[in-house]
Structure formats: structure tokens, C-alpha cells
């Protein structure tokens, strides 16, 4: 589970949605299976990934608009909207939800449905986040890809220290609505102790918070800045 999406299960879900429902239910279903695509930022931020997603479906025999439909939902970086968008996909009766762009998307999808299959891609630990029961046996209706990027915070700090050995005060910018934000701050602070570094964390959940966050960093006279792993920050880089 941690290394690759179970493609056969994913495709079986799509195929089953088209041919395996009872007649009465099929009469109310669209003629093609519908995939829900739940992002975390904007279509522009995800243009390369949505293109790759469509190409992957095409390689497996599914072409958007011909034998599969894709319903896209974008919270524009406002994670508070994800619950509503996920619920909308459930009401749309999609065959499967692709929840991408980090932890907030699959967490919202899982909260919205316990029956529709969900495939995720995240950087954090899905077991600790409560998404799956275990890595080898996810259980429930959810599986996906885990990049373990959240565990790289300490290594990023170490690399920064190697590049700037005289830097002693390091700022870290996190999004408080991101599930792994505080864990990331904790890991970086723990890694900073043996290096004798001071860590100053600031938080921004929307673009409106950036001015205040950077003003606070300037007051602390930081020597360098770490960005937490977050699709929102990537989109606003």
C-alpha cells in the first residue's frame, strides 16, 4: 500500500460501477462511471498532476469524456471547504474518489463516506493520521500512496545547517489546518537541539496571513526559513 496504488482494485471499481449495479439502480446512474477528483488548491497548481492522472486512466483504457467522467473539486487552498466539496462528490454518487495534494483531502473524503472507495497520495503517516489501519492491510474503503515526506523535516533542517553553518535562528512556516503541521514543528525543534539552533514557528492558513507571519519572522531576525510540506505553500511559492 505504501509504495503504489492498487491499480487493479481502482480499475475494478470503475468497471464495476458501469456493469455490476442492479437494474433499478443503474436506471438512475450515468451511462459512464464517474471519478471524483478532490484536490487541495487550484486547477492551475495541479495542471501537471491532473494531466498525468488522465494519462494514467487512458493507459488503462479509460478516456475522459468517452468512457469515464471526472468530477473535479478545488478548495482554492481553503481547507475548510474540503468537507463540503467531499460531501458534494458523495451526493454525486461517484464510483471512486481520488483524494490528492496531501492529508487534508483524504481526511475530508474519509469523513464524508465509508463506502465509496478512496485513493490518496500523502506525505504523512496514514496510520498515525487514522486514514488506514496498517500499511500492509489498509482496511475499510481507502488506500493509496505514502511518500513519508513529513519525516523529512529533520533532514531538511540538517541540509540547511550544512549550507548555512553560521545560521542560528531558523524560522518555520506551517499551515495550522494541515493535519501534520504541529508534528512537523515538533520534529524540527527536536532535530535543532543537538545542532544548537533556535526554531521560531509561525502559522499561515490563507494568503491573508502571510504579511503577519513574515513580519513576525523579521522581528525575530531569523537567518533562514523552512517551509512545511503543504500543497498550499507550494501553490503560493
Does the structure show a pLDDT above 90 at 134?
no
pLDDT of residue 10: 53
DSSP per-residue string spanning 156-201: HHHHHHHH-TT--EEEEEE-TTSTTHHHHHHHHHHHHTTTT-EEEE
pLDDT digits (tens, 9 = 90+) for 200-218: 999 998 888 999 999 999 9
Better pLDDT: 55 or 10: 55
d(CA 91, CA 96): 12
Residue 190's nearest CA partner among 149, 147, 150, 157 is 157
**Percent with pLDDT over 90 in the chain:** 48
pLDDT band at 2 (very low <50, low <70, confident <90, very high): very low
Does the structure show a pLDDT above 80 at 148?
no
Rounded average pLDDT over 74-86: 92
Rounded to 5 degrees, what are φ and ψ at 142? Answer: -140, 140
pLDDT of residue 150: 60
pLDDT of residue 25: 47
Q: Is the alpha carbon torsion for 112, 205, 99, 126 positive or negative?
A: negative
Let me know if domain 7-147 sits in CATH 1.10.260.40: no
pLDDT of residue 22: 46
pTM over 0.75: no
Per the CB < 8 A criterion, the answer to whether 86 and 39 are in contact is no
DSSP letter at 78? -
- As annotated, the residues of the chain forming the CATH 3.40.50.2300 domain(s) are 7-147, 151-235
Does the structure show a pLDDT above 90 at 135?
no
Map grid coordinates 487552498 to a residue: 77
pLDDT of residue 45: 86
pLDDT of residue 233: 80
Architecture of the domain spanning 151-235: 3-Layer(aba) Sandwich (3.40)
Residue 181 C-alpha cell reads as: 503541521
Residue 48 C-alpha cell reads as: 501537471
Rounded average pLDDT over 141-158: 81
d(CA 10, CA 17): 11
3-state secondary structure at position 155: helix
3-state secondary structure at position 211: helix
Beta bridge partners of 34: 69
CA dihedral 217→150→129→111, nearest 10 degrees, is 70
Q: What are the CB-based long-range contacts (under 8 Å, 24+) for 52-61?
A: 53/98, 53/100, 60/7, 60/11, 61/11
Amino acid at each position: 500500500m505504501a509504495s503504489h496504488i492498487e491499480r487493479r482494485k481502482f480499475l475494478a471499481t470503475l468497471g464495476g460501477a458501469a456493469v455490476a449495479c442492479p437494474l433499478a439502480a443503474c436506471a438512475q446512474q450515468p451511462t459512464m462511471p464517474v471519478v471524483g477528483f478532490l484536490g487541495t488548491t487550484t486547477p492551475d497548481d495541479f495542471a501537471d498532476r491532473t494531466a498525468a492522472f488522465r494519462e494514467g486512466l487512458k493507459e488503462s483504457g479509460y478516456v475522459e469524456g468517452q468512457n469515464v467522467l471526472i468530477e473535479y473539486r478545488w478548495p482554492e487552498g481553503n481547507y475548510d471547504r474540503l468537507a463540503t466539496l467531499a460531501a458534494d462528490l458523495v451526493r454525486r454518487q461517484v464510483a471512486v474518489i481520488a483524494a490528492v495534494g496531501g492529508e487534508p483531502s483524504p481526511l475530508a473524503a474519509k469523513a464524508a463516506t465509508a463506502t465509496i472507495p478512496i485513493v490518496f497520495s500523502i506525505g504523512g503517516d496514514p496510520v498515525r493520521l487514522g486514514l488506514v489501519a496498517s500499511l500492509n492491510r489498509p482496511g475499510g474503503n481507502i488506500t493509496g500512496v505514502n511518500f513519508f515526506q513529513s519525516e523529512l523535516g529533520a533532514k531538511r533542517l540538517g541540509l540547511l545547517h550544512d549550507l548555512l553553518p553560521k545560521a542560528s535562528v531558523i524560522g518555520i512556516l506551517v499551515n495550522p489546518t494541515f493535519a501534520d503541521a504541529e508534528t512537523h514543528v515538533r520534529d524540527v525543534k527536536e532535530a535543532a537541539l543537538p545542532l544548537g539552533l533556535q526554531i521560531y514557528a509561525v502559522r499561515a492558513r490563507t494568503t491573508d496571513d502571510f504579511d503577519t507571519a513574515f513580519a513576525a519572522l523579521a522581528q525575530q531576525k531569523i537567518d533562514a526559513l523552512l517551509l512545511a510540506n503543504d500543497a498550499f505553500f507550494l501553490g503560493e511559492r
